[in-house]
Amino acid sequence: MIETISVAGGILLLAFIIKSVYTYKMNKLKIEASLRMSELERGYQPGTYSKSFSSRRSRKEFKREFKRMAKEGFSFKDPAEAEREDLERGIKDLEERMRNLDEILRERKSDAKPEY
């Protein structure tokens, strides 16, 4: 009877340990994935803050992929610089819209005939 209880306790303890290890690994993977996503969103090179590879083979694959991305024109910019470029493009776009609106208003004024 005591042997059965100790075997059952050992099995439960083993199951608890396995579940704890699995939960730890899954949380670690989730954190790494979120770090990689935030790096790409902010324009940082992948692997700046996250661990991008776990073995020598994956490191080589990562370098090959990075070189391919660089050839295709994907660039990793400083987030502040990228934001500044976006703001400058937005300002130019707004100025163009303002010119178009002014031109439309001038045309409407010249087309309108005064009534006497």
Structural domain of residue 98, as residue ranges? 77-116
pTM over 0.75: no
Residues 10 and 77: their CA atoms lie apart, in Å, by 54
- What single letter denotes the amino acid at residue 3? E
| pLDDT confidence of residue 102 | 93
Q: Dig out the tokens for 111 from the structure.
A: 């087309």
Tell me, yes or no, whether 58 and 93 share the same domain. no
Task: Tell me, yes or no, whether 2 and 35 share the same domain.
Answer: yes
Residue 49's Cβ-side half-sphere holds a number of Cα atoms within 13 Å equal to 14
In a shared domain, residues 56 and 5:
yes
CA 99, 100, 103, 109 torsion-angle sign? negative
Q: What is the pLDDT of residue 77?
A: 62
Count of structural domains within the chain: 2
